[in-house]
Copies of this chain bind each other. A is one copy, B any other.
Amino acid sequence: MSTTQISGVTVNTQASVYFDGKCVSHGITFPDGTKKSVGVVLPATLTFNTGAPEIMECVAGGCEYKLAGTDAWLKSGPGDKFSIPGNSSFDIRVTEPYHYICHFG
């Protein structure tokens, strides 16, 4: 079961645009100050770097991802999550738009 909506949040009206628009996200802030983002990765193969640890939650579409230091491409579909350590990176391979929630920390 994927998370289709998030209620009671503040949304940043300006998007973050990465990789010439292959990834677009909008930041959201919860009443307790927690920050997440909702975004989409369009068909591409990209490498993302992390600062804080992240949990990527798929809400629609899907991707394959490969964590730094591993050899395996793993699938992630609606309702699936994967975790990336801080100060690390992951490769992502997308053939249909991958819609996600990014949880930090």
Decide if B5 touches A8 in the complex (CB within 8 Å). Answer: no
Within 8 A of B (CB), among A16-73: 17, 20-22, 24, 26, 28-29, 38-40, 42, 59-60
Main secondary structure of the interface of A (DSSP, over half): strand
Would you list 30 pairs from A and B whose C-beta atoms are within 8 A, ordered by A residue? A3-B13, A4-B12, A4-B13, A5-B11, A5-B12, A5-B13, A5-B29, A7-B9, A9-B9, A9-B11, A11-B11, A11-B38, A13-B38, A13-B60, A13-B100, A13-B101, A14-B59, A15-B24, A15-B38, A15-B40, A15-B97, A15-B99, A17-B40, A17-B42, A20-B42, A21-B22, A21-B24, A21-B40, A21-B42, A24-B40
